[in-house]
């Protein structure tokens, strides 16, 4: 008992306390706390990563749009109370109902993987780990390079929509993005590298259309601006989607950064990474083949995936990912 009591004090000090009530606000503050390790399930569920990989592949073969969807889902999970699978919980007033999360895609893939894992290794693999593994697998399926994912996260019990209000947004300046990344223990390089996840996926016209008209920014490519205006007319359908990485929206590569250097950033938050002197040198490095974007992305993903993780006696292993036990 004394050991457990001391462990709880230590975990509390690190900021990992979590409320046991589904609807309560969380006490812990996200941060780069790592209690995970490579091969966590090697003896308890040796086929865990294979099962997740196969579920992601099946989902991708059915609908390739789940690749950017799951990658974005993992990002949104980690930036809200840490990487604890809270974004997966369904119900009224959960994170899934928050405006930034309304278009998240791929929940059924995570659920499918969980169902198979519960049949093979019941009560062992957390939903938070499934999401972290699936995010890596989507990068591989879109021709990016994989990496070893540390596992051992447990699932959180709190999911409240208002906690998602401060996610990095499509209109954020570099300074605002830096503040939001710093708040969870990530630096400016992580910010730029992880923004490179926009090399796959799309955005709805309604998200960025306000910057397409009366735009006098000389750094915006005017031919590209005209193209976007055609795709997203002022009174058009805001649900029409546009590739975030023009010309390479389904391939995980560094062309996103090349597009930024040519004034072809779709979102304002992407465009400013080139125009702001704090981030432009990093974009320039990642544009180059020698910048090794894939390796940089892997390192920053591991850092992000260890934000505020719940481990040990904290949290739980959900039986289904969409509901607390």
Tell whether residue 86 is among the known ligand binding residues: yes
Tell whether residue 300 is among the known ligand binding residues: no
For residue 118, give every residue at least 6 positions away whose Cβ sits within 8 Å of its Cβ, in sequence order, or none: 319
Tell whether residue 80 is among the known ligand binding residues: yes
Tell whether residue 311 is among the known ligand binding residues: no
For residue 5, give every residue at least 6 positions away whose Cβ sits within 8 Å of its Cβ, in sequence order, or none: none
DSSP assignment of 65-81 equals THHHHHHHHHHHHHTTT
Tell whether residue 35 is among the known ligand binding residues: no
Tell whether residue 253 is among the known ligand binding residues: yes
Tell whether residue 22 is among the known ligand binding residues: no
The runs of H, that is alpha helices, within the chain are 2-14, 48-62, 66-78, 107-120, 127-141, 174-182, 188-195, 205-208, 222-231, 255-261, 268-275, 280-287, 293-304
- Per the annotation, the verdict on 76 as an active-site residue is yes
Contact 316, 287 (CB under 8 A): no
Between CA 167 and CA 132 the distance in angstroms is 18
Contact 288, 257 (CB under 8 A): no
The active-site residue, picked from 22, 74, 76, 271, is 76
Tell whether residue 34 is among the known ligand binding residues: no
Tell whether residue 230 is among the known ligand binding residues: no
DSSP assignment of 143-193 equals T----PPPB--BB-S---GGGGTTS--TT--HHHHHHHHHTTT--HHHHHH
Contact 155, 89 (CB under 8 A): no
Query: Quick check: helix, strand or coil at residue 241?
Result: strand
**What residues does 203 pair with on adjacent strands?**
242
Tell whether residue 198 is among the known ligand binding residues: yes
Tell whether residue 118 is among the known ligand binding residues: no
Query: C-alpha angle 65/299/269, rounded to 5°?
Result: 55
Annotated binding site for Ca(2+): 77, 80, 82, 84, 86, 95, 199, 245, 253
Residues recognised as catalytic: 76
Annotated binding site for heme b: 198
Annotated binding site for substrate: 168
């Amino acid at each position: 008992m004394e050991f457990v009591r001391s462990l709880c004090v230590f975990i509390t000090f690190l900021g990992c306390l979590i409320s046991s009530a589904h609807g309560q606000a969380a006490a812990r503050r996200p941060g780069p706390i790592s209690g995970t390790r490579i091969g966590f399930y090697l003896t308890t569920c040796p086929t865990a990563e294979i099962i997740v990989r196969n579920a992601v592949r099946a989902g991708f073969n059915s609908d390739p749009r789940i690749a950017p969807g799951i990658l974005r889902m993992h990002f949104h999970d980690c930036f809200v109370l840490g990487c604890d699978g809270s974004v997966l919980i369904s119900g009224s007033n959960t994170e899934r109902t928050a405006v930034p999360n309304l278009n998240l895609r791929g929940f059924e893939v995570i659920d499918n993987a969980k169902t198979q894992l519960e049949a093979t290794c019941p009560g062992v693999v957390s939903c938070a780990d499934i999401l972290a593994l699936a995010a890596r697998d989507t990068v591989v399926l879109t021709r990016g390079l994989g990496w070893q994912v540390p596992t051992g996260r447990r699932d959180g019990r709190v999911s409240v929509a208002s906690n998602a209000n401060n996610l990095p947004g499509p209109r954020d300046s570099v300074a605002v993005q830096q503040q939001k990344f710093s708040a969870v223990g990530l630096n400016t390089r992580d910010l730029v590298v992880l923004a490179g996840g926009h090399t796959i996926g799309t955005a709805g016209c309604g998200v960025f259309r306000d910057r397409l008209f009366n735009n006098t920014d000389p750094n915006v490519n005017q031919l590209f601006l005209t193209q976007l205006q055609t795709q997203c007319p002022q009174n058009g359908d805001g649900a029409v989607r546009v590739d975030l990485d023009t010309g390479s929206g389904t391939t995980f590569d560094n062309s996103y950064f090349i597009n930024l250097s040519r004034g072809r950033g779709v979102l304002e938050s992407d465009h400013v990474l080139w125009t702001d002197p704090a981030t432009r040198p990093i974009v320039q490095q990642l544009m180059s083949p020698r910048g090794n974007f894939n390796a940089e992305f892997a390192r920053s993903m591991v850092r992000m995936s260890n934000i505020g993780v719940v481990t040990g006696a904290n949290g739980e292993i959900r039986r289904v990912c969409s509901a607390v036990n």
